[in-house]
Structure 1
């Protein structure tokens, strides 16, 4: 007996997907560097050192005197000698006035004038210690520095960014189908 047969053929659907990849580019240009450092302003002021030497007393102790002080010293010494001479003569005159009191005042006065005192020999340091006056003022230095600020004209460049988006295409390559046959 022949039994009819059904034959069924199916075709699956086939979906096709095509993609285009996205393209992205990022470029970072270098910064344009412009830095300037001006020199610092510097001023230096100095006052010179000073050395003062006062040798007046040292020169005087060695016998080197100026005319004014030599004249003043001689005038004082002359005045002292005159006063001593006046006192001596007054005393001798008093002794001679009292000759009647006894003694021999003329012989005594002659003996006193004949006698010369001994002079002592001593070591003398010239110039005398401490007679030279020295004063020193050291130099003064004033340094002023005025720093200058940095001049920064650096230009930052923004990144260059390009982006092309990707695409996805979906399409049917094969549509589904069903085929039915009868076989007898």
Structure 2
């Protein structure tokens, strides 16, 4: 018998790997904030106070009169002088009618004396000036500050791909036996 020779030829199998790496593709847009500020504003309207001083009566009391006041006082004096003159003439005429009053010359001489006039000039007024006042005002208009903001949101876009491992047979295992 002859020895039997067995030949075994073995080929190992081989696996292949197809690897796809994971991938993250992030796209980020930052938020956009637009701000507009308006400052506070204060507007003041001021009406100043007024003081009214009427010193006509004070000046009149010192003999320092204005044009109209002086004209009025002269008119009053003229009126009084006319009335007094008429009264004097009437009185003279009555004296001339009366035989006991003396001669006509004596009556006329007595009547020809000028009347005394008293002039008063003062250094300080006897009447106070009239003083009045109107108060001033302050009006304000206030506008508060403002902040107007517009916000555009940011965005995050994510393109994510999972990683992958594909296994395939690159070479099939085999056993070949020959006798």
Offset of 1:60 from its aligned partner?
1.2
Q: Which residue is equivalent to 2:148?
A: 151
For the aligned residue pairs, the C-alpha RMSD in angstroms reads: 4.2
Offset of 1:35 from its aligned partner?
5.9
Secondary structure at the residue paired with 2:83?
helix
Seen in structure 2, the aligned counterparts of structure 1 residues 87 and 158 have a Cα distance that, compared at 3 Å, is same
Q: Which residue is equivalent to 1:172?
A: none
In structure 1, runs of 5+ residues without a counterpart are 1-29, 160-184
Q: Does residue 49 of structure 1 match 2:49?
A: yes
Correspondence for 1:138 among 119, 135, 139: 135
TM-score between both structures, scaled by the size of structure 2 = 0.50
Q: Which residue is equivalent to 1:81?
A: 81
Offset of 1:88 from its aligned partner?
2.0
In structure 2, runs of 5+ residues without a counterpart are 1-29, 157-179
TM-score between both structures, scaled by the size of structure 1 = 0.49
List 4+ stretches of structure 1 deviating above 4 A. 30-37, 107-114, 153-159
Seen in structure 2, the aligned counterparts of structure 1 residues 106 and 80 have a Cα distance that, compared at 3 Å, is farther
Q: Which residue is equivalent to 1:105?
A: 101
Offset of 1:154 from its aligned partner?
5.6
Q: Give the Cα–Cα distance (whole angstroms) in 1 for the partners of residues 70 and 41 of structure 2.
A: 58
Seen in structure 2, the aligned counterparts of structure 1 residues 73 and 54 have a Cα distance that, compared at 3 Å, is same
Correspondence for 2:126 among 103, 113, 128: 128
Q: Give the Cα–Cα distance (whole angstroms) in 2 for the partners of residues 137 and 146 of structure 1.
A: 29
| CA-to-aligned-CA distance 1:57-102 (integer Å, 9 cap, x gap) | 1111111112332233123212211211211221231232132xxx
Seen in structure 2, the aligned counterparts of structure 1 residues 59 and 135 have a Cα distance that, compared at 3 Å, is same
Q: Give the Cα–Cα distance (whole angstroms) in 2 for the partners of residues 158 and 67 of structure 1.
A: 90
Q: Does residue 38 of structure 1 match 2:35?
A: no
Q: Give the Cα–Cα distance (whole angstroms) in 1 for the partners of residues 31 and 62 of structure 2.
A: 83
How many residues align? The count is 127
